[in-house]
Amino acid sequence: MLLFSAFLVALVVTMALIPLLVRVAERWSIVDIPDERKIHTGAIPRVGGIAMVLGVILPILMWLPVDAILMGVLLALGVLLFFGAWDDSRDLDYRLKFLGQFAAVFLVVFVGDVKFAIFPLAGLDPVSDFLSIPVTILFLVGTTNAVNLSDGLDGLAAGISLLSLCGIALLAYLGDGQSIVLICFAVAGAIFGFLRYNTYPARVFMGDTGSQFLGFMLGVLSIVLTQKSNTALNPAAPLFLVGLPIIDTVFVMAKRLSEGRSPFSPDKNHIHHRIMAHGMAHYETVAIIYLTQIGFVISAILLRYQSDLMVLACYLVLSGALLCALLFAKERQWTAQHSRFSNYMGRLTNSVRVRRFSIKAIQCGVALYLVIGCAVCAEVPSDLRISALFLFVLLLARLIWADRLRFFPLRLLVFPTIAFAVYLMHSDARTLNIIPLELRTGLLVALLFLMLFAVRYSKIDSFQTTPTDLLVIAVAGGVGILYERQIVDVALIPVMVGIVILFYAAELVMKQMKSRWNCFTVGMMAVLTLLSARLIV
C-alpha cells in the first residue's frame, strides 16, 4: 500500500500543479516557441518538469528517512529545478546548463557518496576514487543530457524513462531495495500525471527541467541499485537500464564531430528524426522507440547475473544492430506506407445505436461492479478510509460546481477511486469468498467486450489509441510475464489486470459523458461513501 500511496501522491500533485503552472507560464516566459527543428507549430508551456520534480519530492519526504544518499539527491534536485526552470524561461547557453548539471552531480557524488566502485571487467575489488569519481560524474552528466536530448516528440522522454524505471524497480525489488522501489513508483506517478497533458498532441512540455530530472534520476538510481542495493547485479546493467538515450546521444555527437561541427550543435539526426524521415507517423515513431527501449530493459533483467563480457557483448550487438538498421533504411531510402494503418489505429468508424448501448452498459457496469465489491468488504485500512473521504469531498465539489472547477480533471478523482476499490476487492478475505475470482474475471471479460464494441463504433475523435496506451499495455503484460517466471506474486496479477481494464473503461465513459450526473459518477460517489463510512462505524 505504501508504494501505491507514493505513486498516487506524485500523480495527484503533478496533475494538480500543471494547470496552475500553465496559467503563469506565459507571464514567466516558460513557453516553447517552435523553430525549424521542432515538430509542433504553436507556443506550448514548458512547465511539466517543474510539476514533476515537486510531485516526486513530496512522497520521498513523507515516507523515506533522509540519509546521506537521499540528502545528496534532494539537494541535487533543488539545483536541477533552479537551473532547469531558468533554462526553460531564458534558453541558457550550454555552458550554464553544464554548470547546473555538474553542480547537481557533485552534490550527489560527494554528499550522497553515489559512485561506481565495481567496474565491469575489473574484478570484485573496488577501484580507486581517482577513477570511480570521474567515471561517475561523466556517466551522470551523460545520462542527464541523453534523456534531455531524446525529448523531441510528445511523450517520448517520459515513456522511455518510465520503462527504465520499471526495470530498475523490479531489480531493486528482487534485491530488497525498498527505498529505490518507492522512489521509482513516485517518479512513475509523476510521469503518468504529466503524460495526461503530453500525449500527442501535447498541451504541455516537460522542458529541460523535466528531461534533465528524469535522466539524472535514472542515472543515480541505476548506480545505487548496482553498487549499493544489490551488488550481485552486473555493474554494466545501467547501460541497458538507461538504454536507447545513451546510444542516441553517442551516435548524434559522433556524427556531428565527424562533420567538423560542435557536438552540442542542434540538428535533426536523432533517432526519432530519422524514423520519421522514413514516413512514420508521430505516434508510430514513439511506439517503435518504446518497443526498442522495452528490449533493452528486458535484456537488463535477463542478463542481470551474467558475466561482464557477456553483458557488454550483448549491449554492443544490440546497439550495433539498431544503428545498422537505421543506416540501412537510409541507404535504401525505405519509406513506410502507413496511411491505412494510421487511419485504422487512430480514427474508427461510427454507429450511433451500438455506441449508445455499449457506453450506457459500461457506465452502469463499472459502477455496479465496484459498488458491490466495496459493499461486501469486511475491513478497510484506516489510511484508505481517510483518502476515500478526501476524494469524496473533492468529487462532490467537482460535480456540483463543475463550471468553476473545470480546471480540476474528473479523472484525477475517478482513477484513485477505482484503484482503491480494486485493491480492496482483491485483498479482503470476505469479498474473495462472496465474489470468487472466476466471477470477477467473467465480469471483466464482458466489460472488455463492451469496450471493444464502444471503441469500434465510437465517434471519430472520441477515443484514440496513443503511445501512452502502449505503455500501460506493456507494463501490464510485463507483470504477466514476470509472474510466469515466478518473479512476482500471483496476487498482483488480477489487481493489475482489473485496474487496467477499469481505467480504460472509465476513460471511455468520461470522454462520452453528456452530463456530469449519471450512473457512473453516482456510482463513484457510492464507492467513496462505502469506503469512508467506515470512519464513523
- Per-residue pLDDT of 167-220, as tens digits, reads 999 899 888 888 999 999 999 989 988 887 876 566 888 989 999 999 999 999
Q: Of 300, 317, 343, which one is at a domain's C-terminal end?
A: 343
Helix, strand or coil, per DSSP, at residue 77: helix
Q: Can you list the residues of the chain whose pLDDT is less than 70? A: 1, 33-42, 199-202, 283, 335-355, 406-407, 452-494, 496, 534-537
Contact criterion met (CB below 8 Å) for 20 and 200: no
Predicted pLDDT of residue 487: 52
Element at 242 (helix H, strand E): helix 237-242
| Torsion sign, CA atoms 237, 482, 491, 389 | positive
- CA dihedral sign, ordered 391, 393, 394, 397: positive
Closest CA to 221 of 249, 263, 188, 194: 188
Q: Do 336 and 406 sit in the same domain of this protein?
A: no
> Measured between alpha carbons, how far is 278 from 241 in angstroms, rounded to an integer?
27
CB 289 within 8 A of CB 275: yes
Count Cβ atoms below 10 Å from residue 427 Cβ, excluding itself: 15
- 458 alpha carbon, distance to own chain's centre: 27
Q: What pLDDT is stored for residue 336 in this prediction?
A: 57
Is 32 strand, coil or helix? strand
Same domain, 65 and 186: yes
Does 242 lie in the same domain as 371? Answer: no
Q: Which residues of 322-352 are buried (b: 16+ CB within 10 A; e: fewer)?
A: beeebeebeeeeeebeeeeeeeebebbeeee
Q: Report the alpha-carbon distance of residue 129 to residue 297 in Å, rounded.
A: 29
Please give the Cα distance from 47 to 84 (Å, whole number). 10
159 in the same domain as 256 = yes
Does residue 165 sit in the same domain as residue 266?
Answer: yes
Please tell me whether residues 409 and 284 are part of one structural domain.
no
Number of structural domains (the chain) is 2
pLDDT at 132: 94
Helix axis angle, 467-484 relative to 492-512, nearest 10°?
160
Q: Are residues 247 and 334 in the same domain?
A: yes
User: What are 322-326's contacts with CB under 8 Å, separation 24+?
Assistant: 322/244, 322/247, 322/292, 323/247, 323/251, 326/271, 326/274, 326/275
Check whether residue 355 and residue 335 sit in a common domain. Answer: no
- The confidence score (pLDDT) of residue 407 equals 63
Q: Are residues 359 and 328 in the same domain?
A: no
| Chosen domain end from 320, 343, 366 | 343
Task: Say what the pTM is.
Answer: 0.72
Q: Residue written as cell 545498422?
A: 324
Q: Which residues pair with 387 in a beta bridge?
A: none
Residue 19: domain span: 2-343
Neighbour count for residue 528 (Cβ, 10 Å): 26
What does the pLDDT read at residue 469? Answer: 56
Domain boundary among 343, 362, 383: 343
Rounded Cα distance between 159 and 157, Å, is 6
Q: Does residue 157 contact residue 199 with C-beta atoms inside 8 Å?
A: no
CA dihedral angle for residue 81, residue 84, residue 85, residue 89, rounded to 10 degrees: 170
For residue 524, the model assigns a pLDDT of: 93
Environment class of residue 402 by beta-carbon count within 10 Å: exposed (0-12), middle (13-18) or buried (19+)? middle
**Residue 208 CA: distances (Å) to CA of 45, 49, 147, 341:** 12, 7, 10, 33
* The pLDDT of residue 200: 56
Same domain, 301 and 380: no
Whether residue 366 is found in the same domain as residue 460: yes
Cell of 47: 512547465
Tell me, yes or no, whether 440 and 332 share the same domain: no
